Amino acid sequence: MKAGIIGCGFIGTEIAKFIDNGKNFYLVGLNDVDKNKAEGLIKKLKKNSPKFLEINELIMKSDLIIESAARNVVGEILKNRNLDKKNKKLLIMSTGGLINNLELLGKKKYCEILLPSGAIAGLDAIKSVSGKIKSLNLTTTKPIIGLQGAPYIISNKINLSKLKNKKIIFEGSLKEAIAGFPQNINVAATLFLASKFENIKVRIIADPNTKFNTHEIQVQGDFGIIKTTAQNLPSKNPKTSYLALLSAIQAIKNLKNNVKIGN
């Protein structure tokens, strides 16, 4: 299966190395807004010899397109006329970019869209109760470094460096959270896409004394209560959990596994 990666940051780099070390996929192209970053990654690969390709050509030549760039790239990919073809698959890591492109997503008839569970647990259970949910709450706690530079932090002039103890810095809706914390809130977007529940309540806590990215989810309805907590160590990118990478790699492995666990 021919693969192409859009976005050569930490996750894109590690996925490229995973594919390079395997035998089921072959990298035909890489793309990044920083061409030097993509070309630097190409030099590190041992078995694969991908080329730097513009997004249109990468989509055209790839059977599996992996998005690990940023949410603003997702819409560009979904609009591409070469995407919606039989036997093409698109794996999206920046699920926050789907929220403003749900109409485009709904029009895809042939391309298979893959959304890994990412940094959370219990997504199968939440999908199974979609349509029966009465409340869904997400509380995300992160180290200071993982929240610095977020638009909400800047616009509200929050000085994270002065925090001595953990503090709630945001409470609001899914759309407000995605706008305010675009690099931190893919979890909330994935929850919405799995649950189809419109009124997700999001709380974000800054904790100067933790090293974990923690996501606590509580879902309630006639089925009972689902509670999950995932405490993830950050990757080399402090805004990304290492579990998100592992989830993406597992989703890729599943394409070739004949035994599927979970739904």
List the chain domain ranges.
Answer: 2-117+244-254, 123-240
Strands (E) located in 32-106:
51-52, 64-67, 89-92
- Amino acid type, 146: G
Cross-strand pairs, 27: 3
Q: What is the chain's mean pLDDT, rounded?
A: 94
**Topology (CATH level 3) of domain 2-117+244-254:** Rossmann fold (3.40.50)
- 153-192 tens-digit pLDDT: 999 999 999 999 999 999 999 989 988 998 777 899 999 9
Query: Is the CATH number 3.30.360.10 carried by domain 123-240?
Result: yes
Q: What are 6's two structure tokens?
A: 């859009």
Confidence of residue 213 (pLDDT cuts 50, 70, 90): very high
What is the H or E stretch that residue 56 is in?
Answer: helix 55-61
Q: What pTM value is reported for the model?
A: 0.92
Q: How confident is the model at residue 13 (pLDDT cuts 50, 70, 90)?
A: very high
> Has residue 239 got a pLDDT over 80?
no
Annotation marks residue 154 as catalytic: no
Per-residue tokens: 248: 């993406």
Catalytic position from the list 215, 235, 239, 244: 215
Q: What is the pLDDT of residue 182?
A: 83
Cα separation, 197 vs 199, in Å, equals 6
Write out pLDDT tens, residues 109-159: 999 999 999 888 899 999 999 999 999 999 999 999 999 999 999 999 999
